[in-house]
A and B are shown apart, each in its own frame.
Chain A
Amino acid sequence: MRRASLLILALSLFGSAQPSQAQTSGTNDTLTVAFAAEGTTMDPARFSAGVDQYFISQMFEQLVRFGPDLKPVNWLAKSWSIQGTPDKPIIDVHLRPGVKFHNGDPMTSADFEFCFQRLKDPKVSRWTHLQANVEQFEIVDDLHFRLHFSAPDADYVVGNLQLWALPKKYFEQVGDEGFAKAPVGTGPWKFVSRSIKEDIKFEAFDGYWNKDARPAIKNLTIKIIPEDLTRVAAFKAGNVDWIDAVPLSEIDNVKKMPGVKTFTAISGNNLYIDFPSYQPTSPFNKEKVRQAVAQAIDMDAIIKSVLFGQGERYEQIGKGSTGYDANLKPYPYDPKAAKKLLAEAGYPNGFETPCYNLTTPREPNIKEYGEAVIAYLGAVGIRCKVQGLEYAAWINLGRRGRNGPPDMDGVLMWMWGQGLPGDPATPWAGHLHSFVAGKGWGSYSYSDDKKADDMVEKLKGVMEPEQREALIKEIAQYAHDNVLGGVTTYRPVITFAWRDKVDFRPWPAANWRNFQQVGLKN
């Protein structure tokens, strides 16, 4: 008797309220996809990490964006140009007419000014420093405005002109909280509902301005499944029809699945190895030692075995990024030459050094990649005293100018994304330019070279695209020759998979997780 009642009690607990039902993506007007991570905010002005773009980019739009071919295309801006003088440039923007917000309000210059004000507000935005050079936002008329700069600012152009179309009238009506609950933008997808850490639902926006590139289905559900194997299992079972970030060990299996398409592309991150070349007492102060590091590591083998091929080698600038030079090749893998260089530099028996490796998987298998690199270094005589660090400790270690423990004094496995398609200006300002306290230069930099500094500072002021390309190539060559700013290793690639019935065209926004053009075939 007692046993039975206990059993019933137990069973009733098993059947209690569950968070969400498994959905089959079978109906013809709904596409269910799965992401490995989710954005933390749906307000473009509050965005803090790349992950936030996953949701923001479906609902909101900018003046300029990159197309599927990674070339910039005017988007909400019908046209724009750089005017004024080289010292005080003006970006003149003509907006596209006929664009509406999800609630029907027309898009005007005032909406961009509103966004500008929010991006400048330190209580809202974490990127206020990016607006620092804009001294005035001039509204000429509803479809025409000008940004007056107090100094040339190339980053502004690189960053897609920074501004988003935020519905000023709507925002003022509903306020911050109302907007967070029901965001409204100009993008192809309208917000329907969200369950934090579980899913978010969108509905296609009928009044969307772009008739050529728009979704062809009515509803989109994005489920959040951080567990790699679960995500793949959900895909295999048909619960979702599109997944991002296929785990490295499953890529082959997924590719072999019948009726499945995959797409592999770089995800915008750039990994490299850094060391304190600025410290006169460090072995890495000697150029030959740095060159030895560059030649000691068989990156191709690491990419093949440790990363299951999911990485792309690059030297300073990756393929497709601004300033890419196909002739600039990485140092060859040559451990004998590396040992010789070390001997010439005064270390015939190598030397000991601390080596710091990130253990939190910000990129797949990044810990193992670091361990492999460290093993190769050991093989040529650079003997590592390894310390594994989890993300917070790692960030705090790498940052220059903390008031805490002494600066990093050995080999540091690091990364700084150049983005998609990629521009090195901001990363170089952070890890190639020497560290200058209080000025924002070299916040994670371990190099100190006057010529490099001058070139990087010049780059910040060059806004014309061809001039930028030429200067970037020059900097890349210089950095390569003198091994400054670290030894670049690889760019992670990411693989997406979807069923044949899904008609998906990858757009690079939000690291390819953008559903600008998607449909269901019958």
Chain B
Amino acid sequence: MKSVIIKGLANALISILGASLIIFVISRLSGDPVSLMLPMEAPKSAIDALRQNLGLDLPIWQQYLLFLSHAARGDFGNSYRWQMPALQLVFERLPATIELAAAAFSFSVLLAVPLGVLSAVYRGLWIDQVGRIIAMTGQAVPSFWLGLVLILVFAVGLGWLPAFGADSPRHVILPAISLGWYPVAAQTRIIRSSMLEVLDSDYIRMGRAVGTPERLLIWKYAFRNALLPLVTIMGVYFAAMLSGAFVVETVFAWPGLGRTVVEAVFSRDYPVVQAGVLITSIVFILSNFLVDLSYSLIDPRIRR
């Protein structure tokens, strides 16, 4: 067990380091931020002075090493725009994104589980087809478009739900639906196929032969086993959620990390871009690690 944890953590650390290198190099190459930070009439001397102040005149590999040594101590530098520590800004915004991702995930599970189970139980009937269609639309529309349409219908048209911002609990509903619809297709499919497999298995058949009520068979026995593959897929789709959050947050003006990073990219606010993307990657890497760990806990066969 211990070796699994250590190995996993070591892998995670390598991934984090590699990710930081990629993020750093790519963002630093994206052009000169100094002329954006100064008024247009600033003379070259002011621009050069600011560039030197920020350490942007050093060669890239030196900048990267400096960045690493500071980052290890939790110092990602000050945001160029906000003149406050970048990491602090990121941590202030991160909870909102996690909240959105969690809400979206709950929605997708809430939708996928019944759809998957019912599709399996009533295979071939109209429920199966309807389920398939609902799931497929999720994979065929961009999440931001779904968001725009939801806004159009429920906020502008019917006025039932709020469109932008995060002022009340109801504000999370539309963004969560937009973000959460995409994985529903895959999740439904997985639940459906693993349910089908399990429903066909010997001990379920035995249960039927013995006379156990169908309902109990489905929900108490089959369902539990069908959930296992769902756990595996969680990891993959969590990344998609974090990624999709960038766009959905922009559409709904959700005050999360994604929106902050998008703005920072536009204003070439390197410290915030680096801190934001790296923290998101770390969240993802760590959650993967936890999923792997829990998987190996659940299924002793994997625990090697």
Q: Are B106 and A227 in contact, with the CB atoms below 8 A?
A: no
- Beta-carbon contacts of A1-31 to B below 8 Å, as 1s and 0s? 1110011011001111111111000000000
Q: Are A126 and B37 in contact, with the CB atoms below 8 A?
A: yes
Q: Are A13 and B103 in contact, with the CB atoms below 8 A?
A: yes
- Beta-carbon contacts of B150-171 to A below 8 Å, as 1s and 0s? 0000000000000111111101
**Which residues of B sit under 8 angstroms from A426, Cβ to Cβ?**
41
Given contacts A2-B219, A14-B169, A391-B36, contact A196 B110 (CB under 8 A): no
- Beta-carbon contacts of B93-108 to A below 8 Å, as 1s and 0s? 1011001001100110
Nearest opposing residue in chain A for B96, CB measure: A19
Tell yes or no: B276 within 8 A of A by CB.
no
Q: Are B43 and A230 in contact, with the CB atoms below 8 A?
A: no
Q: Are B223 and A198 in contact, with the CB atoms below 8 A?
A: no
- Choose, from A164-172, A289-297, A313-321, A393-401, the stretch at the interface: A393-401
Q: Which of B45, B84, B95 contacts A196 (CB 8 A)?
A: B84
- Choose, from B27-35, B200-208, B290-298, the stretch at the interface: B27-35
Tell yes or no: B149 within 8 A of A by CB.
no
**Which residues of B sit under 8 angstroms from A48, Cβ to Cβ?**
37-39
Of the candidates B35, B40, B102, B223, the one having the most CB atoms from chain A within 10 angstroms of its own CB is B40
Tell yes or no: B66 within 8 A of A by CB.
no
**Which residues of B sit under 8 angstroms from A160, Cβ to Cβ?**
none
Q: Which of A19, A21, A122, A180 contacts B49 (CB 8 A)?
A: A122
Of the candidates A14, A46, A49, A198, the one having the most CB atoms from chain B within 10 angstroms of its own CB is A14
Q: Which of B35, B53, B106, B172 contacts A399 (CB 8 A)?
A: B35
Q: Are A126 and B81 in contact, with the CB atoms below 8 A?
A: no
Q: Which of B89, B164, B168, B268 contacts A230 (CB 8 A)?
A: B164
Tell yes or no: A258 within 8 A of B by CB.
no
Q: Are A126 and B50 in contact, with the CB atoms below 8 A?
A: yes
Q: Which of A196, A392, A438 contacts B89 (CB 8 A)?
A: A196
Q: Shortest beta-carbon distance, B95 to chain A, in Å?
A: 7
Q: Which of B31, B53, B83, B173 contacts A393 (CB 8 A)?
A: B31
The B-contacting residues of A in range 103-132, CB under 8 angstroms, are 122-123, 126-129
Tell yes or no: A233 within 8 A of B by CB.
yes
Q: Shortest beta-carbon distance, B248 to chain A, in Å?
A: 14
Q: Which of B81, B89, B93, B106 contacts A9 (CB 8 A)?
A: B106
Given contacts A1-B219, A225-B165, A227-B253, contact A7 B81 (CB under 8 A): no
The A-contacting residues of B in range 43-68, CB under 8 angstroms, are 43-46, 49-50, 53
Given contacts A6-B113, A13-B103, contact A360 B165 (CB under 8 A): no
Kindly state the interface size class of chain B when it binds its partner: 35 or more
Tell yes or no: B126 within 8 A of A by CB.
no
Q: Are A7 and B35 in contact, with the CB atoms below 8 A?
A: no
Tell yes or no: A206 within 8 A of B by CB.
no
Q: Are B83 and A390 in contact, with the CB atoms below 8 A?
A: no
Q: Are B166 and A129 in contact, with the CB atoms below 8 A?
A: no
Q: Complex formed: what's the CA distance from A123 to B52 in Å?
A: 10
Tell yes or no: A280 within 8 A of B by CB.
no
**Which residues of A sit under 8 angstroms from B92, Cβ to Cβ?**
196
**Which residues of A sit under 8 angstroms from B40, Cβ to Cβ?**
395, 416, 430, 443-444
Q: Shortest beta-carbon distance, A7 to chain B, in Å?
A: 7
The A-contacting residues of B in range 104-138, CB under 8 angstroms, are 106-107, 109-110, 113-114
Given contacts A2-B219, A392-B267, A396-B35, contact A438 B44 (CB under 8 A): yes
Q: Are B253 and A440 in contact, with the CB atoms below 8 A?
A: no
Given contacts A13-B102, A392-B31, A443-B40, contact A21 B164 (CB under 8 A): no
Tell yes or no: B140 within 8 A of A by CB.
no
**Which residues of B sit under 8 angstroms from A129, Cβ to Cβ?**
42-43, 45-46
Q: Are A229 and B163 in contact, with the CB atoms below 8 A?
A: yes
Q: Which of A17, A227, A390 contacts B165 (CB 8 A)?
A: A227
Tell yes or no: A41 within 8 A of B by CB.
yes
- Beta-carbon contacts of B167-193 to A below 8 Å, as 1s and 0s? 111011100000000000000000000
**Which residues of B sit under 8 angstroms from A14, Cβ to Cβ?**
103, 169, 172-173
Q: Which of B41, B84, B99, B103 contacts A443 (CB 8 A)?
A: B41
Q: Are A7 and B110 in contact, with the CB atoms below 8 A?
A: yes
Q: Complex formed: what's the CA distance from A365 to B45 in Å?
A: 34
**Which residues of B sit under 8 angstroms from A395, Cβ to Cβ?**
35-36, 40
Nearest opposing residue in chain A for B165, CB measure: A230
Given contacts A129-B43, A227-B165, contact A40 B255 (CB under 8 A): no
Q: Which of A7, A40, A122, A391 contacts B82 (CB 8 A)?
A: A40
Q: Complex formed: what's the CA distance from A440 to B42 in Å?
A: 8
Q: Shortest beta-carbon distance, B59 to chain A, in Å?
A: 16
**Which residues of B sit under 8 angstroms from A6, Cβ to Cβ?**
106, 109-110, 113
Q: Shortest beta-carbon distance, A457 to chain B, in Å?
A: 15
Nearest opposing residue in chain A for B176, CB measure: A14
**Which residues of B sit under 8 angstroms from A390, Cβ to Cβ?**
266
Q: Which of A16, A17, A40 contacts B83 (CB 8 A)?
A: A40
Q: Complex formed: what's the CA distance from A390 to B109 in Å?
A: 38
The B-contacting residues of A in range 394-450, CB under 8 angstroms, are 395-396, 399, 401, 416, 426-427, 429-430, 437-438, 440, 443-444
**Which residues of A sit under 8 angstroms from B268, Cβ to Cβ?**
392
Tell yes or no: A364 within 8 A of B by CB.
no
Q: Complex formed: what's the CA distance from A355 to B218 in Å?
A: 65
Nearest opposing residue in chain B for A426, CB measure: B41
Tell yes or no: A226 within 8 A of B by CB.
yes
Given contacts A41-B83, A395-B36, contact A226 B253 (CB under 8 A): yes
Q: Complex formed: what's the CA distance from A51 to B96 in Å?
A: 25
Q: Are B53 and A123 in contact, with the CB atoms below 8 A?
A: yes
Tell yes or no: A197 within 8 A of B by CB.
yes
Q: Shortest beta-carbon distance, B188 to chain A, in Å?
A: 15
Q: Which of B37, B99, B163 contacts A13 (CB 8 A)?
A: B99
Q: Are A18 and B37 in contact, with the CB atoms below 8 A?
A: no
Q: Complex formed: what's the CA distance from A227 to B255 in Å?
A: 11
Q: Complex formed: what's the CA distance from A14 to B41 in Å?
A: 49
**Which residues of B sit under 8 angstroms from A22, Cβ to Cβ?**
167-168
Q: Are B33 and A392 in contact, with the CB atoms below 8 A?
A: yes
**Which residues of A sit under 8 angstroms from B106, Cβ to Cβ?**
6, 9-10, 13
Q: Are B44 and A440 in contact, with the CB atoms below 8 A?
A: yes
Known pairs A19-B166, A443-B43 / 17 extra A-B pairs, C-beta < 8 Å: A1-B219, A6-B106, A13-B99, A13-B102, A17-B95, A17-B99, A46-B83, A122-B46, A129-B46, A227-B253, A230-B165, A233-B163, A396-B35, A401-B44, A426-B41, A429-B41, A440-B41
Q: Mind listing 28 A-B residue pairs with CB under 8 Å?
A: A6-B109, A9-B106, A10-B110, A13-B102, A13-B103, A14-B169, A16-B169, A18-B168, A19-B96, A46-B83, A122-B53, A126-B42, A127-B46, A128-B49, A129-B46, A180-B83, A196-B82, A227-B164, A229-B163, A229-B164, A230-B253, A391-B36, A392-B267, A392-B268, A393-B31, A395-B36, A401-B44, A443-B43
5 closest A-B pairs by beta carbon, nearest first, are A440-B43, A230-B164, A10-B106, A227-B253, A22-B167
Residues of B at the A interface (CB closer than 8 Å) are 30-33, 35-46, 49-50, 53, 81-84, 89, 92-93, 95-96, 99, 102-103, 106-107, 109-110, 113-114, 163-169, 171-173, 219, 223, 253, 255, 266-268
